[in-house]
Amino acid sequence: MRQAGRFLPQYRALRAKHDLLELCHQPELAAQVTLLPVERLKVDAAIIFADILLPFEPLGLGLSFTAGEGPHIAHPIRDAARVAALPRVDPERELSYVLEAVRLAARALPPGVPLIGFAGAPFTLASYAIEGGASRSFARTKGFMHGEPAAWHALLDRLAELVGRYLAAQAGAGARALQLFDSWVGCLSPADYREYVLPHSRRALELAGAAGVPVIHFGTDTATFLEDFAAAGGDVIGVDWRIPLDEAWRRIGARAIQGNLDPAALLAPSAALAERVRDVLARAGRRPGHIFNLGHGVLPETPVEAAQTVVELVHGC
């Protein structure tokens, strides 16, 4: 999953010299980090090293990262006037450093190892923009959604256009697949997802899909509305570990699936880890269209050897 390099010693050595935004802003460093999991773990694909909140910089929201506390948004969006004042963003120009990192990484990868581009989904981006950072309750987000529905839809419409064009630009720069991350969408009820989010995710996925490469649509905690989540679009539906893979596949129908080992399983003893990996594979049943992956990002405390074990187990089956 995204930013798999963060648990590797080589990545930590780079972070000791550069903060997160520096790594993202310098294409050579971003490409270097992108290659780390391929070189060390021999995984079958790479995903570009970036952060989902990078579009906030040209939007004028004031993005920074605080050690131990995560992202901070200096100018959060709290009313309709702030939505209306958002500038138009051209990802080809204002996120060009990400596109250059894509070009560099795509050229450096071994033959047969594709590069995946990614972006944050409209809801997840909106939640960060409204909350001013990470949240557990998403109270401000839901309050804005219900209290200012017209402004909410205007905001998500703008974000959908931006991330859809941003993803398509990554494909143009050399990404051979794309992934839309809706990391926090599971905080919603099924009805709220359908009314306030699904149309905007669909728009972003349509714009990304127009680039002609496969698109993965991933979210966490989506089990209660998985059919609606799949209906929003995507060639591949990513699922987390909170639902058995075979049940999720039955519910999304004739679609490829990505998932869904619990990242915490990599902290377990090797025998227990192997059992969990084999369970996911057994539920896939060698059916075509399964991308074995974690159900969310690699935990920073993950032993490198555990990640290598997972890759070897999957390749050996």
- Residue closest to 245 by CA, chosen among 229, 264, 226: 226
Distance, C-alpha 284 to centroid of its chain: 22
User: Cβ distance 89 to 125 under 8 Å?
Assistant: no
DSSP structure class, residue 118: E
Helix 96-108 to helix 27-41 angle, to the nearest 10 degrees?
40
- Residue closest to 229 by CA, chosen among 193, 262, 191, 264: 193
Residue 236 CA neighbour count, 13 Å, CB half: 23
Distance, C-alpha 260 to centroid of its chain: 14
- Residue closest to 73 by CA, chosen among 114, 36, 125, 29: 125
Name the β-bridge partners of 179: 118, 216
Annotated catalytic sites, by residue? 2, 6, 15, 51, 128
Strand ranges for 6-98 from DSSP E: 46-47, 63-66, 70-73
As given in the structure block, the two tokens for residue 163 are: 């991330």
State phi, psi for 8 to the nearest 5 degrees: -85, 140
Q: What is 86-111 written as a DSSP string?
A: PPP--HHHHTHHHHHHHHHHHHHSPT
Whole-angstrom distance, CA of residue 151 vs CA of residue 128: 16
Q: Report the alpha-carbon angle 296-248-202, nearest 5.
A: 75
Q: Which amino acid is at 220?
A: T
- Please classify residue 254 by burial: count the beta carbons closer than 10 Å to its beta carbon, then call 0-12 exposed, 13-18 middle and 19+ buried: exposed
